[in-house]
Amino acid sequence: MDFLVFQVPMLTVQALLDGLLLGILFALIAYGMALQWGVMNIINIAQGDLVILGGYIAYFMYLYGIHPGWGVIVSPIIMYFVGIGIYKLVINKVVDRDLFISILATFGISILFMQLMNFAFGADVVLANSGYGTTMLFNNSVTLPNSKIFSAVVSIVFAVGLVIYMKRSKLGRAIRATAQNARAAKILGVDTEKVYAATFGINAALCGVAGALISITFTIHPYMGLPYTIRSFMIVIVAGLGNLPGVALSGMGLGIFEEFADYILGTEFRIGSVFLLLVIILVYRRFKLSRKREYLK
Amino acid sequence: MKIRNILITFFSAIAILFSTSVVSLAKVVGDKIILGAAISLTGKYSSNGVHTQNGYNMAVDRINSMGGIKVGGKTYKFDIIYYDDESNPKRAAQLAERLISQDGVEFMLGPYSSGLTKAIAPVTEKYGVPMVEANGASRSLFTKGYKYLFAVLAPANLYLDVAIETAVELNGGKGVRIAQAFEQDAFSQDVRLGILDAAERTGSEIVIDDKLPKELNDMAATLAKVKAVKPDVLVVSGHTKGALTAIRQIAEMKVDVPMLAMTHCDAAKLSKQHGKNSQYALCASQWHKTLTYKDDFFKDGMTYAADFEKEFGYDPPYQSAESSAALLVFKDAFERANSFDQKKVRDALAATNMQTFYGNIKFAPGGQNVDKPMVLFQVMCDDAGKCENKVVAPLKWASAELIHPIPKWSER
């Protein structure tokens, strides 16, 4: 236990800001998970692997001399089609089944993706340099990498854009109707098959954005996906499926929690503390993986 | 229906088992000395696994083309059976069993990483199979009393020892304040023990002692503490991701520290991935191509590097060089033993005292190489942003002068 973070006020500020920016990025990944969980009742264990795949897209752009910042545009477009592909191949066969089957199926996809990425891209840890520089606050005692600020801003833009899209567009309305009651929506003429595919595609696209952002703020590696799955799972069960402001808040909360756990318990307990928190919350809420589809607001 | 499926699975399993075990190779077939190796060709160690394999292959070709190995008046050539251990210790141990009991291999080369070497060593020891390994540096490998394990590299606790001593020397012999962050794995924790020893010896003080998780990609908290505490030396060891993450975040957070010492810089291709941001980092290395050791097969480091690049298309990391050296050691031992008797070869290995392009090799009773110090290189960049690793310590091999203290970010 180390309480240096509270003894030096600037460290407290640093931890808060770092956690906040990180949390916004987590919230974006969690939002994708909440969306497809709500609509399709599928817990996607491969969420983190989709994120990493998105990161590799930005990384390869960087390798070929394109600024990795453009990854936030290119990566979601490619990932959308990857998502549709996964849906057509696997997910559409498990979408109406038991939750357990879907967890198994996505777990399989996760392993497959890890191995394929390792095979295709190699086991090296890689990153893309954005060259965005650093913002210094309080006379250089608090530093914020601009890449983290960029990540947070892009995440917010995509999240807000998606909310508006869900409210205004025809597909958005169809998605919400399917989430509310798939059978009724089908009877009323909504092509639920298409809606499911689009939802999974949108989720993969959000993962693509997040992955591109992670490649310029942190590092990527074929086996680094799981922590992102766990974090988004955790954010979603804290916030509830239909609760977007809740997802944003619990994302930021998790980011700050992680950052302080890092300072106080040590970096080695960072992910551990997330798991611990997950267990505590599950026990506290006596969370049952409800088969009831919640209404996505 | 179900029973039929089970039967089919059962019999096909047996068929597969037989089809692979029918061809049993002995230790020496015709004019070939067959060595066995489990290497990580897939999984998380695959890049370093490939470096290891390339190093082995390079040496096999070279030794074979330069006359092979002379034992009992006859000339033999090396051949290696490789299996992919998938970066998995359990699999590595199984494959070692298979190499020895099914393929009849009587001499082994090591896998990549301390963890996998630890998994294989008990197996080779059980069968009395001499193993020369080049990629397991963990100190715990050499304290178990293994009789058949020989490592051409210096043990992990010596990796950054030199850095602390240099820092103390530059501080006028007074102890320094050390901040350190190490991953939670056998290798990095051994490096940490080495630092603790060095700190005690020199009267230095450890002011930050952080542990890093294996899924590390953010060490902002550690670095923020470093900024607040202002140590004289920052030591980071967490394989390639540790090196990459540290450099990225040190640059982003503008962390000023007079000395930054790390491991795995060349495996992480630091200067390529981070360019000028990696400048001034001090890196521990088993080998560097500019060292002036010599042998008859590869001549010296520079020639080795050039030949390696011609063959495989990249500059050899030390993982490849040390792997090549392992074969030179085997050749030397076979010729001195003048026999393929495992015990005699083992004794010859234990008595090894030679120089290779990679360094001097002489084994302590524990099996580690005690005749080859670690070197430290510093990443140095020119104005155009082209970076190079230059050896700065020990002074005997230094090709450039250590830049100390590291200039502040505001002055760069």
- Quote the ipTM score: 0.80
State the nearest Cα–Cα gap between B238 and chain A, in angstroms. Answer: 12
Is pTM beyond 0.95? Reply is no
Cβ–Cβ below 8 Å for B252 and A4: no
The architecture in CATH of the region A4-285 reads: Orthogonal Bundle (1.10)
What residue in A sits closest to B46 (Cα-Cα)?
A: A123
Which comes out higher in pLDDT, residue A72 or B240? A72
Cβ–Cβ below 8 Å for A125 and B268: yes
> Which residue in the set B43, B218, B254 is minimally distant from A143, CB to CB?
B254
Cβ–Cβ below 8 Å for A123 and B228: no
Cβ–Cβ below 8 Å for B184 and A268: yes
Comparing B24-154+291-362 with B158-285+374-411, is the CATH topology the same?
Answer: yes
Q: Are B91 and B173 in contact (CB under 8 A)?
A: no
Query: Which chain B residues are Cβ-neighbours of A22 within 8 angstroms?
Result: 218
Query: Which chain A residues are Cβ-neighbours of B246 within 8 angstroms?
Result: none
What residue in A sits closest to B212 (Cα-Cα)?
A: A268
Which residue type does A270 have? R
Mutating which of A63, A117, A118, A143 best tests the B interface, going by the most B Cβ atoms within 10 A? Answer: A143
State the nearest Cα–Cα gap between B103 and chain A, in angstroms. Answer: 28
**pLDDT tens digits, residue range A143-195?**
888 899 999 999 999 999 998 998 899 999 999 899 888 889 999 998 989 99
CATH of B158-285+374-411, one of 3.40.50.2300, 3.20.20.70, 3.10.129.10, 3.90.950.20: 3.40.50.2300
Query: Which chain B residues are Cβ-neighbours of A221 within 8 angstroms?
Result: 44, 217, 241
Cβ pairs bridging A and B (under 8 Å) = 111
- Which pLDDT band holds residue A238 (cuts at 50, 70, 90)? confident
% of chain B residues with pLDDT over 90: 49
Query: Which chain A residues are Cβ-neighbours of B249 within 8 angstroms?
Result: 145
What residue in A sits closest to B253 (Cα-Cα)?
A: A143
Mutating which of B53, B188, B248 best tests the A interface, going by the most A Cβ atoms within 10 A? Answer: B248
The answer to whether B45 faces chain A, any CB pair under 8 Å, is yes
Burial code (b: 16+ CB inside 10 Å, e: under 16) for B21-33 equals eeeebebbeeebb
Mean of pLDDT values over B381-386: 82
The answer to whether A125 faces chain B, any CB pair under 8 Å, is yes
- Window B:151-190, CB contacts with A under 8 Å: 181, 184
Q: Which DSSP string do the residues of A66-134 spell out, in sequence order?
A: S-GGGHHHHHHHHHHHHHHHHIIIIIHHHTTS-HHHHHHHHHHHHHHHHHHHHHHH-S--B-------E
CATH topology of domain B24-154+291-362: Rossmann fold (3.40.50)
Cβ–Cβ below 8 Å for A218 and B217: yes
Let me know if B395 is exposed, middle or buried by CB neighbors in 10 A (0-12, 13-18, 19+): exposed
Cβ–Cβ below 8 Å for A145 and B240: no
Residue A224 in tokens: 């680094």
State the nearest Cα–Cα gap between A131 and chain B, in angstroms. Answer: 9
State the nearest Cα–Cα gap between A27 and chain B, in angstroms. Answer: 17
For chain A, helix (H) and strand (E) counts, in that order, are: 13, 2
State the nearest Cα–Cα gap between A239 and chain B, in angstroms. Answer: 25
The alpha-carbon radius of gyration of chain A (Å, integer) is 19
State the nearest Cα–Cα gap between B269 and chain A, in angstroms. Answer: 10
Say whether the peptide bond before residue B258 is cis (omega within 30 degrees of 0): no
Query: Which chain B residues are Cβ-neighbours of A219 within 8 angstroms?
Result: 217, 241, 244-245, 248
Q: How far apart are CA B106 and CA B146, in angstroms?
A: 17
Q: Given a cut of 60, is residue B219 above it in pLDDT?
A: yes
Which residue type does B172 have? G
Residue spans per domain, chain B: 24-154+291-362, 158-285+374-411
Residue spans per domain, chain A: 4-285
What pLDDT does residue B23 have? 43
The answer to whether A135 faces chain B, any CB pair under 8 Å, is no
CA of B299: how far to CAs of A152, B251, B295, B307, B358, in Å? 54, 39, 5, 11, 10
% of chain B residues with pLDDT over 70: 93
Residue A99 in tokens: 């939750």
Neighbours of A42 (CB within 10 A): 25
% of chain A residues with pLDDT over 90: 44
DSSP-derived 3-state class of residue B62: helix
> Do β-strands B359-362 and B353-356 pair in parallel, antiparallel, or remain unpaired?
antiparallel
Mutating which of A8, A125, A132, A268 best tests the B interface, going by the most B Cβ atoms within 10 A? Answer: A125
> Which residue in the set B221, B228, B241 is minimally distant from A219, CB to CB?
B241
Q: Which of A271-275, B77-81, B150-154, B321-325 is least confident?
A: A271-275
What pLDDT does residue B126 have? 92
Q: Given a cut of 50, is residue A297 above it in pLDDT?
A: no
What residue in B sits closest to A227 (Cα-Cα)?
A: B215
> Which residue in the set A119, A226, A270 is minimally distant from B42, CB to CB?
A119
What pLDDT does residue B409 have? 85
**pLDDT tens digits, residue range A83-122?**
999 999 999 888 878 888 989 999 999 999 998 998 888 8
What residue in B sits closest to A132 (Cα-Cα)?
A: B252
Query: Which chain A residues are Cβ-neighbours of B87 within 8 angstroms?
Result: 123
SS (H, E, C) A237-272: HHHCCCCHHHHHHHHHHHHHHHHHHHHHHCHHHHHH
Q: Given a cut of 60, is residue B25 above it in pLDDT?
A: no
Q: Are A239 and A247 in contact (CB under 8 A)?
A: yes
Query: Which chain B residues are Cβ-neighbours of A122 within 8 angstroms?
Result: 46-47
The answer to whether A127 faces chain B, any CB pair under 8 Å, is yes
Let me know if A146 is exposed, middle or buried by CB neighbors in 10 A (0-12, 13-18, 19+): middle
**pLDDT tens digits, residue range B316-336?**
988 999 999 999 999 999 999
> Which residue in the set B47, B215, B252 is minimally distant from A143, CB to CB?
B252
What pLDDT does residue B241 have? 85
Mutating which of A52, A135, A224, A268 best tests the B interface, going by the most B Cβ atoms within 10 A? Answer: A268
Residue with tokens 């500059």: B315
Cβ–Cβ below 8 Å for B248 and A219: yes
Q: Given a cut of 80, is residue B62 above it in pLDDT?
A: yes
What pLDDT does residue A122 have? 81
Cβ–Cβ below 8 Å for A126 and B273: yes
The alpha-carbon radius of gyration of chain B (Å, integer) is 23
